[in-house]
Structure 1
Amino acid sequence: MTKPRSFCAPLLLFLVWRAGELAEACSCSPKHPQQAFCSSDVVLRAKVVGRQVIVTGNDLYGSPIKRIQYDVKQMKMFKGPDREIDAIFTGPTSAVCGVNLDINDKKEYLITGKLESDGTMHMTLCDFIQPWESLTLAQRKGMDSRYEMGCQCRITYCASVPCAISDPAECLWTDWLMENSVQGPQGRHYTCIKRNDDSCAWYRGAAAPKKEFLDIEDP
């Protein structure tokens, strides 16, 4: 009697392959624009004027290590070194968190990123990168000055109930819970700012916050 063929080996190989594929996927934790500003070395507004693939060396197997270099025209520096950034580097594919930007002389981006040891700027999909025209007035004000006022505060992400703050210096971020999106009202219109009693609260206002203000204050 002929024994049925075993599918264990092909299935195992498939699972190993899928595991390797998934391991290469880029995964990022949700980040409020204020958190992105405060944790970044560089925050700037820029146009992308060029793109090229560069080789920075070889890996252990002799394969070339590639990066994408975006040549940019800096429009404004919100946070960063006291010099102009003319190039930003990223990974070659989205699987390794590489960023894909349009080369368009009319399109401007808000880009956050890190400074590497050699002084070059690097960005990933986990950084806050948005077309400038898509930013709200509050986000633009935040990048210009307001987010910096709350860098000593902590924004606590809430994805499911129950969730609560454990310290007065925290603001509870509930956009995902309420709107099923990290681009909800708090992300688009609010800043977590420290008050004069060292507690922190959400602020929404056109003018700079008063020394004392209520949670979620409107202009």
Structure 2
Amino acid sequence: MTWTVNGCLVALAILFAWRVEDFAEACSCSPAHPQQAFCSSDVVIRAKVVAMNKVDVGNDVYGNPVKQVKYDVKLIKMFKGPVMDIEAIYTMEYLITGTPYPPTPLLRTYCSDGNVHVTLCDFIEPWDAMSPIQKKSLPERYHMGCDCKIVRCETLPCALHADNECLWTDWVLENYISGPQAQHFACIKRRDGSCAWYRGAAQPKKDFLDIEEP
């Protein structure tokens, strides 16, 4: 089954059946907060890989055969996107590097010729590895802050430059990207148009924490 969306850039939150192993990525990619991946996506799903096969997709510019790995998936839940089924995801064979799929945080993909593709700079998070707040945020929190801008702090000092920004400091304070803000916070828009980090599974208060700190 082929799948198309308007504008080809999509993102997925996916449950995979296999165990994730660490490996050194061959490219350098700009990290994204899970909310950024959600908001920039056309589609967000939870799915399970049921099969993997190598498929021929033609030749490169030098005439060498090009293979892709096709993952047949079973859709468990659609968090965002059109009401339709997604049955397969593709990645280039040379990106596998001994692992069944690229084990990076959420999955941002692109579509080409109606198919969903994964690259080394895309994002995957096994469902069991997601925090309870992240799971709750997928259907109920992240969309409340898609008008906000999450700004990653790379070195200190760093500061916000607009009211609609949330400063993401996991890298400088925790020395890794999947820190407390990525695991437990969503950047949500307040009634006055400003944005602030919100932590918790409960629905944000109507005054949107104008006085309280998250």
CA distance in 2, matches of 1:79, 1:64: 36
**Gap runs ≥5 in structure 2:** 1-24
One-letter identity of the residue aligned with 2:127? W
Q: Report the aligned-residue RMSD.
A: 2.5
Match in the other structure for 1:196:
191
Q: Which moved more, 1:205-214 or 1:54-63?
A: 205-214
Structure with higher helix content? 1
- 1:169–1:200: 8 Å Cα contact kept in structure 2? yes
- 2:191–2:208: 8 Å Cα contact kept in structure 1? no
- Using structure 2 for the length normalisation, give the TM-score: 0.79
Q: Which moved more, 1:187-196 or 1:42-51?
A: 42-51
Match in the other structure for 1:205:
200
Runs of 4+ with deviation above 4 angstroms: 215-218
Give the number of equivalent residue pairs.
Answer: 187
User: Aligned to 2:206, what secondary structure does the other structure show?
Assistant: coil
**Gap runs ≥5 in structure 1:** 1-23, 103-109
CA distance in 2, matches of 1:193, 1:214: 10
- 2:37–2:106: 8 Å Cα contact kept in structure 1? no
User: Aligned to 1:208, what secondary structure does the other structure show?
Assistant: coil
User: Aligned to 1:65, what secondary structure does the other structure show?
Assistant: strand
Distance 1:98 1:75, change over 3 A: farther
Match in the other structure for 2:6:
none
Distance 1:142 1:31, change over 3 A: same
Percent identity, please.
56
Query: Deviation of residue 43 (structure 1)?
Result: 1.4
Match in the other structure for 1:183:
178
Match in the other structure for 1:127:
122
Relative CO higher for 1 or 2, CA cutoff 8 Å, sep ≥ 6? 2
- Higher Rg of the two aligned structures: 1
- Using structure 1 for the length normalisation, give the TM-score: 0.77
